[in-house]
């Protein structure tokens, strides 16, 4: 009979062999997908048209990857610095904004979450974010980020909600914590209190908000900065509650919410696990990652560099908590051929026949108009094309405007009516009668006979 020690050794060898074979079999495939994603992201860094937007999440993702094209990353970094210099960083130094819909109001500044992502992208490129030169000015971006978070905190105290969203509030908290800056205890306390109230994960985008908050709280949980000790207890309880919320949203196929929220949820749960939050019953994200690799190969993320940039850290099994570990020394510089063997796109249909779609534009807040039109577009058209066709038929009732964003064109105005984001208004996109679309104007492909609605509402 084998001795217990001997049996254990044999078992360990067997497990090691098994693990090795499964890890060795999978990555060949997965690293091809990762490389293809890196190539799509690198291609997306080249300005295409006037709607091109320099998105800091793209640089964060590229910097976290194991393979690089350093020249293209540097050139994108330059563009990012130019965008940052144009933004209204400080109340005392207004930026120059050319698009009237983008013009900051008096006293309005770069939103907290955008600044947080910029700061993370700069740190991931090894720039000193506490003492940067932007054009002629020296700035402490962490100090400015701290001010932005303070404005969010005060808005919660006075108005019961952040100036922007808890998504951005959490990004700002996360970036300060990740970069080892102190975070105002009252800001932390307010984030933790909000997190404890997020029971069910209902509501638009609440899983994405929960994920960003969980990364922030996991980072805070791991720091010795939390004072008083009651705050540490509140943070631990809030992180636990958000982790349970996300775990409770898992589907059998590995999804946590929709495909886009799955990418962020896996990162959040990974961060939580690393900080000692109890995630028992979680498979470490294996099922979700398999699901996301398949979605990436099927081209579900390809149209939107913003979505792909949020996905890449998940495919790599990493999170933004790894940003401080980037040294920029001895980086790989091997990705020069940007053509990919593996194409991350759905098979394109080559026939296109006319389809009919009803489009309805309605002011769901002031009830000043409710216009419908039937348009004919080629099959395979996106919703943007439908809005263009409607506008061409009746420029008065169906005029619209968009602004560039990391997820493509964002609908800001319909029939002359602007959604005022300061009042938390937006043009919601619906499949009639009331199903919110899971993609925007550029990425949503319409079907014959569909009835689509742009409805002014609040979030």
Binding site for ligand B12 (CB under 6 A): 111, 113-114, 117, 164-165, 167-168, 204-205, 208, 258, 260-261, 264, 304, 307, 310, 405-411, 421, 426-429, 436-441, 443, 459
**Torsion angle of C-alpha atoms 254, 255, 260, 265, degrees rounded to 10:** -80
Q: Which of residues 364 and 380 has its CB atom nearest to ligand B12 in the complex?
A: 364
* Residue nearest ligand B12 (C-beta atom): 440
Length of the chain: 459
Min CB(301)–ligand B12 separation in Å: 7
What stretch of H or E contains 410? strand 410-414
Kindly report the CA angle at 175 between 169 and 180, in degrees rounded to 5?
130
Q: Which of residues 101 and 333 has its CB atom nearest to ligand B12 in the complex?
A: 101
Q: Are 359 and 452 in contact (CB under 8 A)?
A: yes
Q: Which of residues 219 and 430 has its CB atom nearest to ligand B12 in the complex?
A: 430
Min CB(430)–ligand B12 separation in Å: 6
Min CB(253)–ligand B12 separation in Å: 16
Q: What is the 3 state secondary structure string of 172-194?
A: HHHHHHHCCCCCCHHHHHHHHHH
Q: Who contacts 410 (Cβ-Cβ below 8 Å, separation ≥6)? A: 402, 403, 404, 440, 441
Q: Which two tokens stand for residue 365?
A: 């807040």
Nearest Cα residue to 449 out of 384, 361, 354: 354
Q: Which of residues 52 and 133 has its CB atom nearest to ligand B12 in the complex?
A: 52
Q: Which of residues 69 and 425 has its CB atom nearest to ligand B12 in the complex?
A: 425
Task: Please give the Cα distance from 347 to 457 (Å, whole number).
Answer: 36
Min CB(209)–ligand B12 separation in Å: 6
Q: Which of residues 69 and 415 has its CB atom nearest to ligand B12 in the complex?
A: 415
Min CB(397)–ligand B12 separation in Å: 18
Min CB(266)–ligand B12 separation in Å: 12
Min CB(148)–ligand B12 separation in Å: 11
Q: Which of residues 184 and 420 has its CB atom nearest to ligand B12 in the complex?
A: 420
Nearest Cα residue to 123 out of 190, 56, 197, 72: 56
Task: Please give the Cα distance from 231 to 229 (Å, whole number).
Answer: 5
């Amino acid at each position: 009979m084998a001795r217990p020690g001997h049996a254990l050794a044999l078992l360990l060898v067997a497990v090691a062999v098994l693990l090795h074979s499964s890890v060795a079999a999978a990555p060949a495939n997965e690293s091809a997908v990762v490389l293809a994603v890196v190539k799509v992201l690198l291609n997306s860094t080249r300005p295409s048209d006037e709607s091109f937007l320099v998105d800091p999440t793209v640089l964060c993702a590229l910097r976290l990857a194991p393979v690089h094209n350093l020249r293209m990353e540097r050139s994108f970094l330059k563009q990012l610095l130019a965008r940052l210099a144009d933004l209204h960083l400080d109340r005392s130094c207004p930026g120059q904004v050319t698009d009237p819909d983008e013009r900051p109001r008096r006293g309005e500044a770069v939103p907290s979450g955008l600044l947080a992502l910029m700061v993370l992208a700069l740190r991931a490129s090894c720039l000193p974010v506490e003492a940067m030169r932007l054009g002629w000015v020296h700035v402490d971006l962490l100090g400015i980020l701290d001010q932005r978070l303070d404005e969010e905190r005060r808005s919660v105290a006075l108005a019961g909600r952040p100036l922007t969203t808890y998504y951005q509030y959490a990004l700002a908290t996360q970036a300060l914590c990740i970069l080892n800056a102190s975070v105002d205890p009252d800001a932390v306390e307010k984030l933790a209190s909000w997190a404890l109230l997020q029971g069910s994960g209902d509501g638009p985008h609440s899983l994405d908000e929960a994920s960003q908050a969980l990364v922030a709280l996991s980072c805070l949980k791991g720091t010795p900065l939390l004072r008083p000790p009651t705050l540490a207890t509140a943070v631990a309880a809030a992180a636990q509650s958000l982790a349970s919320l996300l775990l409770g949203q898992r589907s059998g196929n590995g999804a946590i919410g929709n495909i886009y929220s799955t990418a962020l949820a896996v990162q959040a749960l990974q961060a939580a696990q690393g900080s000692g939050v109890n995630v028992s019953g979680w498979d470490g994200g294996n099922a979700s990652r398999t699901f996301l690799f398949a979605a990436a190969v099927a081209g579900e993320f390809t149209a939107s560099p913003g979505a792909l940039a949020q996905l890449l850290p998940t495919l790599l099994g990493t999170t933004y908590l790894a940003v401080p570990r980037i040294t920029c020394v001895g980086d790989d510089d091997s990705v020069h051929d940007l053509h990919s063997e593996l194409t991350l796109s759905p098979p394109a249909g080559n026939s296109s026949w006319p389809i009919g779609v009803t489009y309805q534009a309605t002011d769901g807040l002031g009830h000043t108009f409710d216009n419908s039109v039937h348009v004919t577009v080629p099959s395979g058209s996106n919703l943007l094309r439908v809005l263009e066709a409607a506008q061409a038929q009746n420029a008065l009732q169906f005029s619209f405007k968009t602004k560039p964003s990391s997820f493509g064109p964002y609908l800001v105005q319909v029939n002359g009516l602007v959604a005022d984001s300061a009042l938390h208004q937006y043009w919601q996109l619906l499949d009639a009668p009331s199903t919110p679309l899971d993609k925007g104007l550029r990425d949503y492909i319409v079907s014959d006979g569909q009835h689509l609605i742009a409805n002014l509402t609040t979030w």
